Amino acid sequence: MDASPEQASDYRLAALRSFNILDTPREQDFDEIVALAARLCDVPVALVSLVDADRQWFKAEVGLACSETPIEQSICAHVIRENSFVEIPDTHADERTRDNPLCQGEDGLRFYAGALLRTAAGVPLGTLCVLDRRPRTLEPHQREALEVLARQVMTQIDLRQAIATEQVIRNEIDHRIKNSLSTVAAFVRLERRTAADKAALQLLDRVAQQIDTVSLLHRHLSDGGRQRLDLATYLGEVVALIDQSQPPAIHVSGEFAPFDVEAREAANLGTVVNELAANAVKHSVGEAGGEIRFRGEALTGGRYRLTSEATGARTGDETETEAAPGSRTGLGLRLIAHSVQQLGGTMTRGTENGRYRTEIVVTPSPA
């Protein structure tokens, strides 16, 4: 059964509003199309007109100096109803427009041509139209150009909707990731409260710190959909998180030069900083307290140097060493070594002037 005119109108308006384009700011892509349409057709007025229930609203316009008109004054509404290209050589001689206030007076609009803006399903949303203040007709190539440009307008509208849809999906994914990380963090906190073994407790502390670092990385990436991060900001926040999780007697600080890296590289360096801090607390600083300082410097050749220095009651003790696979001993060192390897870097360790010092030099991917 065919839809009634009222049902067809409701369906069309629902389709128009699904694009969320009404009353949005002007955009250069649309402005350029109406300017080109006006030049190609040699007219003073060109519009991207979207026909709403009680008005026609202009996403872009040149030569009319208004953003909308009442539906009663809409010539484009006739194009919507006729569902085809409409050209009116003289508005005073056409019954559809002779009484239109826009067409009256010395400066009234006397010529109109409009090409439909159709969705992929064929639903008309409005027109790309050109108008003149004198009667005339379009040349065949001008009419063809107007129809081509109308399809380009619809392409821009479709693209705008696709980007908005992608953002909705991205936001939903971000929300689910945040929830998942929060769930894992809550589980680790619960396990930590019941852990009796000191080694297990230290391992859970490391896991909790890594979860915080991953959450921080995700937050940076989800803000604006970025794919690269500045180490000065990211590692500075990682160090601040580590410092907050330490007992009052242990202080962790960092100073990092600005340096953009890919997200995966930032993740590896976050792991390195976490494990260096955990290693220093366990083997160098000790429960009596001390200080752990990080520093990041940009070097020539696109390299980045990360150093950590630890001072405390146990500085100079033997640090975490390699261990057999499956052993908890040496886990942090293996994580550091793997991360450094992923970044094509080198690592040196040793005691210098009463401080235990680790230096890592990596070569991240260029921007």
pLDDT value for 11: 87
pLDDT value for 2: 56
What are the pLDDT digits (tens) for 97-136? 888 888 988 888 999 999 999 998 889 999 999 999 999 9
- What's the pTM? 0.54
Domains, the chain, ranges and CATH?
5-162 (3.30.450.40), 223-362 (3.30.565.10)
pLDDT value for 366: 81
What are the pLDDT digits (tens) for 323-365? 444 444 466 778 788 888 888 899 998 887 777 889 999 988 8
Which residues make beta-bridge pairs with 310? 292, 356
For residues 201 and 173, the model is more confident at 201
What are the pLDDT digits (tens) for 209-223? 666 666 666 565 555
